[in-house]
């Protein structure tokens, strides 16, 4: 009897002990879950970084489609009867543009450069901005694959919830960044009507210190190719893509922002050389910003300047405007003008200083908590396009 009581008491104590251990375990597990959840809440990643640019055809077969999309865009090239004229103009210009791409290797390298920039930026961001990690870069070109809709579909499949639209035009224009943002709004309305992706925007960065340093160092490297006694006499010709004057007169900020970049670069160089800001790539008969780069080259040649350094100041990687227009086309123009010392500063491409600048721009933007710059909140004073306001409303109403 005594033995049975001892066994019963032992069994009760054992069961009580097990219950106590189990209850303690549950408490510990609940505490762990609570801590883990808190950590998950504190972490704001993963983050998609969408690099937006004009793009370019990777093959000769893609030229006509690229040109058609380009000429159909009223934000870039406003022409009458656009829906009918654009395909006609694109088809007529295709053979000539194919020849140009053929001379630079059979297609535009802008996709490969953007991919390299994005991957390098990802690695750096994951180190310096762990709160928003992991970061993944995407590409959204306006006129060539991967197009905005292709990228949105991919992001939706991969479950992206937070994304930054990062323009690769350092200086804002309605014709470039504005057009890309309008397209992002249009495609988001169609492909993401539930607004599962929360967006913020890096819409301009014309005077960011890392960008200025990268440009300045490339200029310094190029100037070393000239004899020491003439190095400081070389004319720095900063060349940016031109715009139709109708866009400028509407109140576009592009000219002032490009000029701001040039001024900061020259400050960094301590105004070591004479310089001018000129414009390239005019299309069509309408008035565009001038002087055109080729006209400036001829003018300087007539005035006795034999040494000119071309600096692509509004592009972040090589493409047809640098490799064909500046290097080949304007090289021939310089020969005609008697200029014997024409060179070009290397494009930024995958320069580590530039990649670091890209990563820091994204980090600063995310840490700021801002959806977009104050400049993007308002339209051009003479803008009459409803799409511009609706796109702004879309980004303004984002909660990140």
Distances (CA, A) of 321 to 85, 144, 212, 317, 364: 24, 16, 21, 10, 30
Fold type of domain 209-344: Rossmann fold (3.40.50)
Q: Residue 73 contacts by C-beta under 8 Å, 6 or more apart in sequence?
A: 142, 143, 179
> Coil, strand, or helix at residue 363?
helix
- Structure token pair of residue 107: 């297609």
Q: What is the pLDDT of residue 399?
A: 73
- Listed by start position, the domains of the chain span 47-205+352-396, 209-344
Regions of the chain short of the pLDDT cut 70: 1-42, 400
Number of H helices, E strands in the chain: 14, 8
The sheet that has 198-202: what strands, in order across it?
135-141, 47-53, 162-167, 198-202
CATH architecture of 47-205+352-396: 3-Layer(aba) Sandwich (3.40)
pTM assigned to the model: 0.87
Q: Residue 194 contacts by C-beta under 8 Å, 6 or more apart in sequence?
A: none
Could you give the CA distance from residue 289 to residue 282 in angstroms, rounded to a whole number?
Answer: 8
Burial (CB < 10 A; 0-12, 13-18, 19+), residue 365, is buried
Q: Quick check: 254 and 206 in contact, CB under 8 A?
A: no
Could you give the CA distance from residue 101 to residue 118 in angstroms, rounded to a whole number?
Answer: 24
- Structure token pair of residue 195: 């607004």
Residue with tokens 């064909």: 324
| Identical fold between 47-205+352-396 and 209-344 | yes
Q: What is the pLDDT of residue 43?
A: 73
What is the separation, in whole angstroms, between the first and last Cα of the chain? 72
> Coil, strand, or helix at residue 100?
helix
Tens-digit pLDDT profile for residues 119-170: 999 999 999 999 999 999 999 999 999 999 999 999 999 999 999 999 999 9
Q: Residue 99 contacts by C-beta under 8 Å, 6 or more apart in sequence?
A: none
Q: What is the pLDDT of residue 42?
A: 57
Distances (CA, A) of 84 to 68, 88, 236, 321: 11, 7, 41, 27
Q: What is the pLDDT of residue 29?
A: 33
> Coil, strand, or helix at residue 72?
coil
311 DSSP β-pair partners: 238
240 DSSP β-pair partners: 279
- The mean predicted confidence, pLDDT, of the chain is 90
């Amino acid at each position: 009897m005594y033995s049975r009581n001892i066994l019963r008491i032992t069994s009760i104590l054992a069961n009580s002990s097990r219950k106590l251990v189990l209850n303690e375990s549950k408490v510990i597990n609940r505490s762990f879950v609570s801590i883990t959840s808190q950590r998950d809440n504190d972490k704001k990643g993963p983050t998609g970084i969408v690099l937006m640019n004009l793009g370019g055809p990777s093959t000769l077969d893609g030229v006509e489609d690229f040109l058609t999309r380009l000429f159909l865009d009223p934000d870039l090239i406003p022409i009458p009867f656009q829906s009918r004229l654009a395909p006609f103009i694109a088809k007529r210009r295709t053979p000539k543009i194919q020849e140009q791409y053929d001379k630079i290797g059979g297609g535009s390298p802008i996709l490969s450069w953007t991919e390299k920039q994005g991957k390098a930026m990802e690695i750096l961001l994951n180190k310096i901005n762990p709160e928003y990690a992991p970061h993944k870069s995407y590409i959204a070109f306006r006129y060539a694959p991967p197009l905005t809709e292709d990228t949105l579909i991919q992001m939706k499949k991969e479950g992206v919830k937070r994304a930054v639209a990062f323009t690769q035009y350092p200086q804002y224009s309605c014709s470039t960044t504005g057009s890309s943002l309008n397209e992002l709004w249009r495609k988001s309305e169609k492909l993401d009507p539930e607004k599962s992706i929360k967006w913020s925007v890096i819409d301009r960065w014309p005077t960011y210190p890392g960008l200025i340093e990268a440009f300045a160092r490339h200029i310094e490297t190029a100037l070393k190719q000239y004899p020491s006694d003439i190095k400081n006499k070389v004319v720095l010709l900063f060349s940016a893509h031109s715009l139709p004057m109708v866009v400028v007169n509407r109140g576009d900020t592009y000219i002032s922002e490009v000029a701001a970049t040039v001024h900061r670069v020259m400050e960094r160089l301590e105004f070591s050389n004479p310089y001018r800001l000129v414009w390239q790539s005019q299309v069509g008969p309408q008035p565009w910003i001038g002087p055109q780069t080729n006209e400036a080259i001829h003018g300087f040649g007539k005035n006795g300047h034999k040494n000119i350094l071309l600096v692509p100041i509004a592009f972040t990687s090589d493409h047809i405007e640098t490799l064909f227009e500046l290097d080949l086309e304007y090289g021939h123009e310089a020969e005609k003008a008697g200029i014997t010392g024409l060179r070009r500063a290397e494009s930024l491409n995958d320069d580590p200083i530039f990649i670091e600048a890209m990563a820091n721009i994204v980090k600063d933007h995310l840490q700021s908590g801002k959806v977009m710059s104050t400049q993007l909140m308002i339209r051009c004073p003479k803008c009459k396009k409803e799409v511009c306001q609706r796109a702004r409303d879309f980004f303004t109403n984002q909660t990140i």
